[in-house]
Structure 1
Amino acid sequence: MERQALRTLVLSTLRGIAPEIEEDELASDRPLRQQVDLDSMDWLNFLIGLHQALKVDIPEADYARLHTLDKLLDYLAAKLQARGPG
């Protein structure tokens, strides 16, 4: 999956949790939860939504690594690449 398509899917999933987000105002290198004001339950629902959409496992041990949009996209892209086509 190309990075832009992945970004679009991630933001679409995020919009399902926080419909008020302004995509153009999100900084890729700043903490995503703070920018969107997600509590821990919203964050968990967001990650579950990504898991369901992409069929990628996101272990709880990795949650802390996913603090910015860039880090999240890098992580998901690596997971998708490791999984291979299909």
Structure 2
Amino acid sequence: MTPRSREEIRQAIVDALGGIAPEIDPGSIAADLPLREQIDMDSFDFLNLIIRVHEILGIDIPEQDYAKLVTLNGAVEYLARRCAAQQ
């Protein structure tokens, strides 16, 4: 797996969110607020987000780590660490 920049990871998350809620404006997402509240995602949508991010980035995300993906910044930081660990 090639290393990913935080910007590439952030874009992958935004792209995945666009697939779940195409009506959202990516620029309106507050980086430190819970994604589920901003986008009004239910549990199924959140699981689809995690699956899509895994498909885009190829990073395994164990269920016990889902809480680390609550905010955009938290998700980027978590996925950047996971990506670095897989090198």
TM-score after normalising by structure 2: 0.91
Identity %: 45
Alignment of 1:1-86 (within 5 A): 1-84=4-87
Structure 1: gaps (5+ residues):
none
TM-score after normalising by structure 1: 0.92
For 1:5 and 1:50, how far apart are their aligned partners in 2? 11
Output the aligned Cα RMSD. 0.8
Question: Which of 1 and 2 has higher RCO (CA within 8 Å, sep 6+)?
Answer: 2
* Secondary structure in 1 matching 2:70: coil
Once the two structures are TM-superposed, the CA of residue 77 in structure 1 deviates from its matched residue by 0.4
For 1:61 and 1:76, how far apart are their aligned partners in 2? 14
Once the two structures are TM-superposed, the CA of residue 64 in structure 1 deviates from its matched residue by 1.4
Structure 2: gaps (5+ residues):
none
Amino acid across the alignment from 2:42? D
